[in-house]
Chains A and B, each alone.
Chain A
Amino acid sequence: MVEESFIKYKKKTLILIIFTGFLALFASSILSLFSGVIDLKIEDLPCILTRLNFLCSNMYGVDVIWSTRIPRIITAIVIGSSLATAGVVMQGIFKNPLVDPFIGGISSGAVFAVSTSILLGITITSHSSIFAYPVTAFLGALFSLILTLLFTRLSGGSSLSFLLSGLAIGFLFSSATTIVITLTAGRSFGIIFWLFGSLITASWRFLSILIPVSIVVMVYVLLNARNLNVLILGDEEASQLGLNVKLVKYSLITSLALLTSTTVAFNGVIGFVGLLAPHISRLIVGEDHRLLIPSSMFTGATILVLADIIARIAIAPAELPIGAITSAIGAPFFLALHIKNYRRFQRTL
């Protein structure tokens, strides 16, 4: 029997997570809104939020912010929470703390497809379409995922065989990309973006695809939070408890892989946030996925919004790769938290 007070405690924690998460995310978004090459004053805030003429003294600046900076902040939030979700669930499924959202060769497949498309000058849709490279990247990611799943099936279908198949497929596509990049010489400008990831390309049009996909997948994942808690116990124990282990596992893996592929398609491979956000959250809220997933979402989103500010302003007008910054700001925080946890653990011994 689960005690009622325990449920109450969990519910309270969840509300606390949502509240503090929103607060942190809101604060960092406001900070992001006011940092960049176009200067905005805090008095402009009502104008920015409402875009009503009589509130505005700087309509031109506000228009630009609406078409560039605001979609960028929203993209940071969506991508940050998506990658964090994918990270936390993949780590849970594989019971491996070093798994990141790009397993299954997703990133290498996407980068390979785009590099080849750039080298040959061939795209699936018309060149002028802003979706030309995203579609290519997505198909590349999907292709490598299908290959990985196929080899997983052929090699027994265990979690380990998925990880190893993904690793091998990833290396295969990485080496192919290396060859392609060597051949493209000067054209590598476009490929670098996919390798390191960036929010430069953020726009409302991309968001119109990114947001629905991420919401659908995230809701699906949240509904499966309880199943994940069962899955953590081990495959055998989980099936004894009446869970269709294979179905839950592979439906989650596939939907998250689709989510990750979508983020790669629009913004390249943004590393580390999907690894770091779950670990930070785990240290704060523990292993219960019903709390862990929402808290990872907020952590991931906040990290990426903050990292994007640095990427944008550190060496303006040039941009820094966001992947390097996520680790630069997230890693010290993670390490500090870990030391604190260790000390608390020692005291309780």
Chain B
Amino acid sequence: MDHPSNMIQRKIVILLSLLILSLIFNGVQFALLSSSQTIISTTTFTSYHTVTYTVTSTSSVVQVGVEVYPKKFIDFMGREVVIEKEPLKIVSCAPSITEMLAYLGLLEKIVGVDSYSDYPPELLTLKQRGVIEDVGGVVTLSIEKIVSLSPDIVFIDAGLQGNYVAILEEKGLKVVALHAASLTDIYNGMILIGEIMGVKEKAFEIVNRMRNTLSNLQSKLNVVREKTSVLYIGWIEPIWTAGRNTFIDDLIGAADGYNVMGDAEGFFMTSPEVIVAKNPQTIIILSGMLGMSPEEIIAKLRNLPGVDKVEAVKSERIYILYDQAENIFARPGPRAHEAVEILAKILYPELFNVKIPNVLGGDYRKYLEYSISEIGSS
């Protein structure tokens, strides 16, 4: 016979062990999520249900005949997609994809976009007039709304919306997954859309223009002997930053900068001590998410312990990007080369003879010389 207090003790041990296990799992889940490449899909935190999938970074475009349907493709999740006929109605579930579609001249085929898609301005007008419907936030898509629009193709972002694929397919919809964590991914994505929608030439034209812009920029950057170091801050309290294998890291690399957090991967939290140790020469802050004024952001940054010793803070090379200037950095889309140009000019002002203001917003275009700007211009 067990002593009663012994029984109680045993029960406590069992219950505590279960608690310990669940806490460890939560921690591991957090670590996995925070190291994933994309901005975290919040629903996974709340439902404690993570869908894991691998995003193939380069899609191989398999083409079967020109402009002859059905066509067969491999999308960015490695899925085989067969397009039976020319798609007439499309839904885009991410701002970056919406921009790609618009640049390819497919705006009139869009019947629905996510709530965050706000570019180009024509899109906003169409949204206001109700021609293009809102299908919900990027991680809170309304399946019912999408189904009710009966689109021929739904474009989703594999990083944010990979778990929606099965749900949408089950409703009989054709889903194509795109995902970009680098400039190369953007080119491949553009070409994939071009192939699917029958605007391949246009896609190649835009991709080539982006590439040319970048190579012109990079020939200018050839003289750079010592790379300027950059710290990206996506959230300030606590600090979230980006390491390698992120879109922002790819942009920094393309602008010939040096990402001080490149020794870690993905998006992650870090401490003020690490920032002081890394001592970046410039700090780039995307402010839209923070919901604060630039002055408040600077004040918060200066309040971090030890940060007054950081070179970027001492030399006031803190750049706060908001509105569309932020979007070109946050959205892996057809304006990515503009982001590279802005960044190159931030990092090497003496080379370009231009001073980018510390706070840059919707008027960022006036600082561009290399990049194509407007949709449809050639």
Interface residues of A (CB under 8 A from B): 36-38, 60, 63-64, 67-69, 71-72, 97-98, 118, 121, 126-128, 130, 133, 177-178, 181-190, 192-193, 195-196, 198, 200-205, 271-272, 275-276, 279, 312, 315-321, 323-325, 327-328, 331, 334-335, 338, 341-342, 345, 349
Contacts and interface: CB of A to CB of B under 8 A. Distances in A.
Given A275-B19, A318-B270, A185 B42 contact: yes
B124 interface: no
A279 B16 contact: yes
Given A118-B291, A182-B46, A328 B13 contact: no
Given A64-B306, A315-B31, A317-B261, 13 more contacts: A63-B309, A177-B46, A188-B40, A188-B45, A189-B234, A190-B235, A192-B30, A193-B269, A196-B30, A201-B237, A323-B26, A331-B24, A349-B3
Nearest to A195: B45
A155 B183 CA distance: 61
A335 B291 CA distance: 46
Contacts of B140: 182-183, 185
B295 interface: yes
Contact of B277 (A37, A327, A341): A37
17 contacts: A64-B306, A118-B291, A128-B296, A181-B45, A182-B43, A185-B39, A185-B138, A192-B30, A192-B45, A198-B269, A201-B238, A272-B19, A312-B273, A315-B31, A317-B261, A323-B27, A327-B20
B305 A71 contact: yes
Nearest to A65: B273
Contact of B46 (A127, A178, A202, A205): A178
A8 B237 CA distance: 50
Interface in B24-64: 24, 26-28, 30-31, 34-35, 39-40, 42-43, 45-46
B254 to A, nearest CB: 22
Interface string B226-252: 000000001101111001000000000
Given A188-B40, A193-B238, A317-B261, A324 B24 contact: yes
Interface of B: 3, 6, 9, 12-13, 15-17, 19-20, 23-24, 26-28, 30-31, 34-35, 39-40, 42-43, 45-46, 116, 137-140, 234-235, 237-240, 243, 261, 263-264, 267-274, 276-278, 289, 291-293, 295-296, 299-300, 303-306, 309
Contacts of B19: 98, 272, 275, 327
B269 A130 contact: no
A238 B233 CA distance: 56
B292 A64 contact: no
Given A185-B138, A331-B20, A342-B9, A316 B46 contact: no
Contacts of A328: 24, 27
Contacts of A128: 292, 295-296, 299-300, 303
A185 B139 contact: yes
B243 A318 contact: yes
Most chain B CB atoms below 10 A, which of A317, A319, A321: A317
Contact of B264 (A63, A126, A318): A318
A181 B270 contact: no
B45 A127 contact: no
A204 B303 CA distance: 11
A138 B206 CA distance: 52
Contacts of A327: 19-20, 23-24, 27
Given A312-B271, A321-B30, A121 B263 contact: no
Given A130-B300, A318-B264, A334-B16, A121 B23 contact: no
B30 A324 contact: yes
Most chain B CB atoms below 10 A, which of A36, A38, A64: A64
B31 A182 contact: no
Contacts of A130: 300, 303
Given A37-B277, A317-B261, A317-B264, A121 B292 contact: yes
Nearest to B272: A68
Contacts of B30: 192, 196, 321, 324
A272 B23 contact: yes
A299 to B, nearest CB: 15
A68 B305 contact: yes
B263 A184 contact: no
B173 to A, nearest CB: 23
Contacts of B24: 324, 327-328, 331
B278 A200 contact: no
A188 B42 contact: yes
Contact of A64 (B12, B137, B273): B273
A272 B20 contact: yes
B367 to A, nearest CB: 25
Contacts of A349: 3
A187 B286 CA distance: 12
Contacts of A193: 237-238, 269
